Amino acid sequence: MKNYLKLLPLLALGIVSCEPELDTPIDESGFYTNGEADFSNYVALGNSLTAGYADGALYITGQVNSYPNIMAQQFAKVQETQMFNQPLMADNAGGLLAGGTQITDNRRVLAVGTNGSPAPMIYTGMQPTTDITNVLSGPFGNMGVPGAKSFHLVTPNYGDISGVAAGSANPYFVRFASSPGTTVLADAVAQNPTFFSLFIGNNDVLSYATSGGVGVDQTGNMNPASYGPNDITDPQVFAGAYSQMVTALVGTGADGALVNLPDVTSIPFFTTVPNNALVLDAPTAASLTGFFQAVAGIFAQGAIQQGASPEQAQALAAQYAITFNAGPNRFLIDVPVSPTNPLGFRQMTEQELLVLTINQTNLAQGYGSVVLTPEVMQVIGLLQAGQSITPEQGQLVLGAVSGIDDKDALDTQELTAISTAQASYNATIKALATANGLAFVDAQAVLKQVATGGVVFDGGTLTSQFVTGGAFSLDGVHPTPRGYALLANALIESINQTYNATVPKVNIGTYGTVTLNNEVQ
């Protein structure tokens, strides 16, 4: 028997050599190529989109599904790479604390309300535990800083906790800045990256847009330190900061990819609440039309009393005799009072947008058209009966008009300011990519496709429809993991083309969309 035991090692050898091996295994080097690029030390710069922010917060699983992390995992299939580190949050609740006090909201989840229909709500299933006083030690490959604008990445002290309350510093960068005085760019360059991606500039117009254009278009103002948080960045300031970053990053010898900026009209934050959601039946439409005829009449009468000629008065009043029809009608918005629009409201035009966060309850009660109280109806009744009314009664009617506030809408002027700045930023990005031989990623085109028709994948079609479309998370601005995977694929495709590499894409169907949870209040 002992003699046969000697055969056991031989047997073991036989077992080992019988492991299955594929003819062309992808996990051995040489199957994919990095081409002329070197992905061994990848650093991603950007804002919330780079950080993996979603559902109105930054949280671990969002970061795990950030496009830089997805790309880094794919890079690792192509060549030996360094571990891609991210400044992970402490939990999946998402809120930030500063010295124990919560300073940002938790993430949103899709919850079923008491009315039985699902809606995004703030997750309250656990207390947030990520305190910005707990500074992580890097370096981190993912340098995405939620909220950052272009010039913030080159602004010293952007990670200094003492500036957070005043708004001169960013709580997310505080968490992983190498020192309070450093810049995002300096920390990126210090890592001596072999490859970088830069996706910055969205917030230079986006915060203006999501605030309904309450900020200032700072075009012409070259001092970003004087900008408010919701202002549009001057295109030259943008170009200056952007080229400074590209120069510094290319200066390390790194290859890279520059990502342009998608249209604000690509995101559900502006496309979910239609500007013609004032759906009326025929009697209501007729009564609203009658109401605005009354408004026009009251206005004309008042104008004549204040000395205008009847022709002038009628011409100005005509704009207020708005006709409503059965079916969808556009809302009214408030505009600045002017000689040509003395009452300061008008009906929205086709292109103008409403924000996702507009108060739906108020809309249902007349916000965006007229708040018809019994008292107002009484006055209308008097007018329809041909009776005269007092000036106070006339004011009651005019005051019932409830145009949508500036903060809840993007009007034509604001949209033009946004698209002008964005077009200028995108021209800068494209020119710098070409000048430096970097990969150029047309995220604008990718998201436009998602918004118009959608992107077909193996499990359906990815669209920008809020909640159900799959591309956008519950804040209506930031992508879902599936949306980020699509973005990662766009970067990979451009990188492969530019550098003759064959980095494999990911299957976006294997990435999740919105998170269901009912632990909400």
Partner 1 sequence: MKKLLLLMVFTLATVVTYAGGYRVSLQGQRALAMGHTGVAVVNSAELGFFNPAGLVYLENRLNVSAGVSGVFSDVIYQNDEFGNSYRTDNPVGTPLYLYASYKVNDWLALGLSVYTPYGSAVKWEDDWSGSHLVNNIDLAAIYVQPLVSVKLSKYLSVGGGPIFVTGSVNFNRNLNRTLSDIDGNRSNVTVDASGVTNWGWSASALFSPTEDLRVGFNYRSEIILDAEGGEADFQNIPNSPLTPFADTKFNASLPMPAELTVGLSYRFLDKWLFAFDYNQTFWSVYESLDLDFADPNIPDSTNPRNYKDSSIYRFGLQYEATSRFTLRAGYYFDESPVQEGYFAPETPRNDSNNFTGGLSFNITDNLAIDAAFLYSRFEEVDASYDYYQENGQAVPFEGTYKSSAFVPGLGLTYKL
- Chain contacts with partner 1 (rule: CB under 8 A): 11, 14-15, 18-27, 31-32, 60-61, 64, 74, 77, 92, 109-112, 118, 123, 125, 458-460, 482, 504-507, 509-513, 515-519
Which two tokens mark 9?
Answer: 């090692």
Output 8 or 166, the one with its CB closest to partner 1: 8
Of 78 and 348, which has the nearer Cβ to partner 1?
Answer: 78
Query: By C-beta, is 500 or 507 nearer to partner 1?
Result: 507
Question: What type of residue sits at position 508?
Answer: I
Instruction: List, as one string, the DSSP characters of 290-337.
Output: HHHHHHHHHHHHHHHHTT--HHHHHHHHGGG-----SEEEPPEEE---
Nearer to partner 1, 77 or 351 (CB): 77
Which positions ≥6 away from 305 have C-beta within 8 Å?
A: none
Is residue 107 within 8 A of residue 514, CB to CB? The reply is no
Q: Mind giving me the DSSP string for 262-276?
A: --GGGSHHHHSS-TT
Q: Work out the angle at residue 444's Cα, subtended by the Cα atoms of residues 441 and 447, and round it to the nearest 5 degrees.
A: 110
Of 129, 193, 136, 142, the residue nearest 159 (C-alpha)? 136
Q: Name the minimum Å distance from CB 503 to partner 1.
A: 8
Cβ at position 39, least distance to partner 1 in Å: 13
**CA-based angle 77:436:239, to the nearest 5?**
115
Least distance from C-beta 449 to partner 1, angstroms?
Answer: 20
> Does residue 158 sit in helix, strand or coil?
coil
- The values of phi and psi at residue 263, to 5°, are -70, 145
Q: In the complex, what is the shortest distance from the CB of residue 198 to partner 1, in angstroms, rounded to a whole number?
A: 24
Amino acid of residue 259: V
Beta carbon of residue 458, minimum distance to partner 1 (angstroms, whole number): 5
State in angstroms the smallest separation of the CB of 440 from partner 1.
24
Residue whose CB is less far from partner 1, 111 or 259: 111
Is the CB of 113 or the CB of 344 nearer to partner 1? 113
Helix (H, G, I), strand (E, B) or coil at 455: strand
Nearer to partner 1, 32 or 440 (CB): 32
Q: Report in angstroms how near the CB of residue 462 gets to partner 1 at its nearest.
A: 13
Task: Retrieve residue 275's tokens.
Answer: 């500007």
If the CB atoms of residues 26 and 371 are measured against partner 1, the closer one turns out to be 26
For partner 1, the closer CB: 391 or 512: 512
% helix, strand, coil for the chain, step of 5: 40, 15, 45
For partner 1, the closer CB: 434 or 518: 518
| Omega before 139 within 30 of 0, i.e. cis | yes
The nearest distance, CB 511 to partner 1, in angstroms, is 7
Amino acid at residue number 110: L
Residues 440 and 247: their CA atoms lie apart, in Å, by 16
Phi, psi for 112 (deg, rounded to 5): -95, 120
- Distance of closest approach, residue 510 Cβ to partner 1, in angstroms: 5
Can you name the residues that pair with 328 across neighbouring β-strands? 279
Which CB, 119 or 335, lies closer to partner 1? 119
The upper half-sphere exposure of residue 32, i.e. CA atoms within 13 Å in the direction of its Cβ, equals: 21
With tokens 């799959």, the residue in question is 470
Residue 258: what are its φ and ψ, rounded to 5°? Answer: -110, 135
Number of neighbours of residue 162 by Cβ within 10 angstroms: 11
Smallest distance, Å, CB 126 to partner 1? 8
For the CB of residue 430, give the shortest distance to partner 1 in the complex, in Å. Answer: 29
Cβ neighbours of 484 (radius 10 Å): 29
Q: Shortest approach of partner 1 to residue 466 CB, angstroms?
A: 16
Between 113 and 381, CB nearer to partner 1: 113
User: And the tokens for 1?
Assistant: 């028997």
